[in-house]
Homo-oligomer: A and B are copies of this chain.
Amino acid sequence: MFQHLFNPSVQHTLDLIGIFVFAISGSLLAVRKNFDVFGIAVLAEITALGGGLLRDIIIGAVPPAAFTDLGYFTTPLVAALLVFFLHPEVERIQVGVNVFDAAGLGLFCVTGTVKAYDYGLGLTASAALGLATAVGGGVLRDVLANEVPSLLRWDRDLYAVPAMVGATMVVLCIRYDALTPLTSGLAVVTAFVLRLFAMRYHWRAPRAWHRRSTVREEESS
């Protein structure tokens, strides 16, 4: 019932923007890894749609939205082409890309949580799937590029926490019957702003206490 929290066409436009910026991040990594044009397109598709794909398979919403909405499928290809031809320019505006990526993170953690709840999952599970929707594409991107997922690394600015906060706000709103376009918009903005602050002030999460000094430091750099 919450499926269309916002006006459907507004929601769809926001989704496409989120997909586009995630696809840009996948394409940029593909260029850095020296992939060819098809490798760039594949990584763009998987980064942009992977999180939602995982969520839809887990909640049983098959075929997943990624395969039923042509706009979802073609948007990453546009991003891949753009990076293919203009990647030095795109890299130069990396800060701008990061801001949009933060917006995608905020949006997807909220819509992912709502969709999971609509399919009958509990509150905690819905929040976990909202988080998976937001960060899953980036993890698949890094696995395919044969890198340690930047989500897991201690030397990266907080990424999961803003999405967790957004997803938690949504399930609290659902719990107390207060989920409206306004409150869910607030959750999107909170996750978005938290991620911006995390990038600006390089917020990081702690590693395990008493980490042995014998660990190979170079692996984390």
* Interface positions of A (Cβ within 8 A of B): 30-40, 42-43, 53, 57-60, 62-64, 67-68, 70, 73-74, 83-85, 87-88, 119-122, 124-125, 128-129, 139, 143-149, 151-154, 160-161, 204-212, 215, 217, 219-220
Q: What would 18 more interface pairs be, CB under 8 Å, given A59-B62, A67-B122, A68-B122?
A: A34-B154, A35-B152, A38-B151, A38-B160, A38-B161, A39-B153, A53-B58, A57-B62, A58-B63, A60-B63, A63-B119, A63-B121, A83-B208, A87-B209, A87-B210, A143-B143, A143-B144, A146-B147
- A154 nearest in chain B by CB position: B36
* Residues in B neighbouring A219, C-beta threshold 8 A: 33-34
Identical copies in the complex: 3
A220 to chain B, nearest CB (A): 4
* Residues in B neighbouring A124, C-beta threshold 8 A: 70, 73-74
* Residues in B neighbouring A85, C-beta threshold 8 A: 208-209
A38 to chain B, nearest CB (A): 5
A146 to chain B, nearest CB (A): 5
* Residues in B neighbouring A36, C-beta threshold 8 A: 152-154, 204-207
* Residues in B neighbouring A121, C-beta threshold 8 A: 63, 67-68
Which of A36, A37, A151 has most B Cβ within 10 Å?
A: A36
Please name 10 pairs of A and B residues whose Cβ atoms are closer than 8 Å in the assembled complex, sorted by A: A33-B220, A36-B153, A36-B154, A37-B208, A38-B151, A39-B154, A57-B57, A63-B120, A70-B125, A143-B144
A105 to chain B, nearest CB (A): 14
* Residues in B neighbouring A119, C-beta threshold 8 A: 63
* Residues in B neighbouring A59, C-beta threshold 8 A: 62-63
Contact yes or no, B68 A31, CB < 8 A: no
A165 to chain B, nearest CB (A): 12
Bound complex: CA A51 to CA B205 (Å): 28
* Residues in B neighbouring A40, C-beta threshold 8 A: 208
